[in-house]
Amino acid sequence: QILRFYAFFRETLQEHRCAPFQIRKVVIYFFLEDGTIQVMEPKIDNSGISQGTLLARARVRFPAPMDANFYDVMDLNVGNEVEFYGRVYKITDCDKFTRNFLNRCGIAVPDPINVPEDPYYKSRAYDIETRLPKKPSRKIDTLGKFLENDRKVLRFYGYWDDQETQYGYLHHLEVLYYLSDDTIDIKEVVVDNGGHKSSSVFFRRDKLVKKYTGLPRPGDHCHLTLLNVLGNDIKSSRYVVDSLDCGKEHRDYYLEQDLTIGGMINVYGRKVVLTDCDSYTKEYYRAKYGLDSFVPIPKPLDSQMGIPTPQERELPPWNGYGSFEDSAQNCITVEPKAPHGDFKKFLKFDKNGLDSHVLRFEGRLISSIDENCGRIFVISYFLSNDTIAVFELARANSGFKTSPFFKRGEIKLPGQAVFTSKPPECYRTQHIFVGATLVINSFKFVLVDADDYALRYMELNCHEVIKYNK
């Protein structure tokens, strides 16, 4: 455990005419384990003096004539003056742990004391301030901001309503704000076959001024203002830099705090309204500015767009030849292509190790013929593509043989119109459970039992299908 005190001492200066002394701030550490003391001075850039450890860790004696004793924790407190090897330190404050520790020991700690002003650093700051603006080579360093915010872009969505003018329409815009250099790029979302030009550049990337007063004059972009041009020719001329920039015209540009949902920005006379933003922009404003409400605002209706809404293609009725999917491909394209299945579902429910994703049930045939009622079938349902296969297990001396009864494929639900333009509905997971009745190729089956894998699958996925939970 270490006690930390903040202090200062005065050092006399002989060579500086404006400052007879300087104030040097230090930190005093008192180690409770052995009563040693260490004095550290924080380093200051371009101070001109050696800083760091002023007193190495050791036990410090009192000044004479009490040099037989050492400094203890009772001798260090806010407001006290301590002398270490001829140098007097004034303690001004301590940290929170030190204050609580001394209070628990019954020692009252006064309030912090203000450190007197340092005349030496005050004169140095004044010299730097008066000398820096007169340098003609001064420039604004933006490299640090670029390295910190490179590739960080705020994205807003908005519109510009130009419907009041002739042939005007509603422009859907995308506003990009680059944090690296505070520039704005506005792109127009062009609708296909909308009857407008295909160019998407609404405002090329640049700083956007809030109030446009005209084209900049020559030299407005320069950050230096020259005064008192003397001489008749260029060689004998002398230039004086205006340190106060009196003749420089100040322009306000749009910054990140000016962009809000529902706000409006002036793009050289065009009023662009911001309606929404992306998820990264929401997180950025939530972390930096503490905003929580990002409710998008609706856009006005575009009465002059004239773009017909895409309608669902209506196919001719199925004629019964082949599958419905193959017939639909002949109507969609001139060059027929094989129908595509649900690839994501296939990857999710494909066979993976011991997970076959095949539900097997024992089925019985419902028939008016007594011989058919005793036949045993294995009905397999494949989760990868919702297909069903039926296999018969023949009993001994039954007159039937063990063989596939129905080839694997999708089974349509009974009671549907066949020759329609809409795809037929097939058996899905919610139709397959113990006790269900399936109609396959005009044969009626009832599911009487299931294997362990199917029962386990229905138990784990009972929240998806209500029948599994019964």
SS (H, E, C) 337-384: CCCCCCHHHHHHHCCECCECCEEEEEEEEECCCHHHHCCEEEEEEECC
Residues in the chain: 470
Q: For domain 344-461, which architecture applies?
A: Roll (2.30)
3-class SS of residue 388: strand
Question: From CA 7, how far away is CA 107, in angstroms rounded?
Answer: 19
With tokens 């550049």, the residue in question is: 201
| Residue 390 · residue 447 · CB < 8 Å | no
Question: From CA 461, how far away is CA 121, in angstroms rounded?
Answer: 74
Strand partners, 224: none
CA-based nearest residue to 427, from 383, 458, 467, 468: 383
Per-residue tokens: 298:
């609706």
Provide the CB-side half-sphere exposure for 395 (13 A, CA).
9
| Residue 378 · residue 359 · CB < 8 Å | no
The pLDDT score that the predictor gives to residue 309 is 57
Flag residues of the chain having pLDDT under 50.
134-135
CA-based angle 324:325:326, to the nearest 5? Answer: 95
The domain locations on the chain are: 2-124, 142-289, 308-340, 344-461
DSSP string, 192-210: TTSSS----EEEEEEPPBS
Question: From CA 15, how far away is CA 120, in angstroms rounded?
Answer: 11
Residue 18 CA to its chain's centroid (Å):
53
Question: From CA 93, how far away is CA 109, in angstroms rounded?
Answer: 9
CA-based nearest residue to 281, from 299, 271, 296: 296
The pLDDT score that the predictor gives to residue 156 is 96
Q: Is it true that 142-289 and 344-461 share their CATH fold?
A: yes
The pLDDT score that the predictor gives to residue 39 is 95
The pLDDT score that the predictor gives to residue 235 is 62
3-class SS of residue 310: coil
Query: What is the CATH T-level fold of the domain 2-124, as seen in this structure?
Result: PH-domain like (2.30.29)
Question: From CA 30, how far away is CA 187, in angstroms rounded?
Answer: 63
Strand order in the sheet with 443-450: 403-409, 387-393, 376-382, 358-366, 443-450, 437-440
Among positive and negative, which fits the CA dihedral 367, 371, 375, 379?
negative
With tokens 């494929």, the residue in question is: 409
The pLDDT score that the predictor gives to residue 84 is 93
CATH code linked to domain 142-289: 2.30.29.170
Question: From CA 276, how far away is CA 294, in angstroms rounded?
Answer: 8
- On whether the pTM is more than 0.75, the answer is no
Phi then psi dihedrals of residue 429, to 5 deg: -60, -35
The pLDDT score that the predictor gives to residue 283 is 94
Question: From CA 201, how far away is CA 401, in angstroms rounded?
Answer: 74
3-class SS of residue 455: helix
Question: From CA 120, how far away is CA 48, in angstroms rounded?
Answer: 12
The pLDDT score that the predictor gives to residue 98 is 93
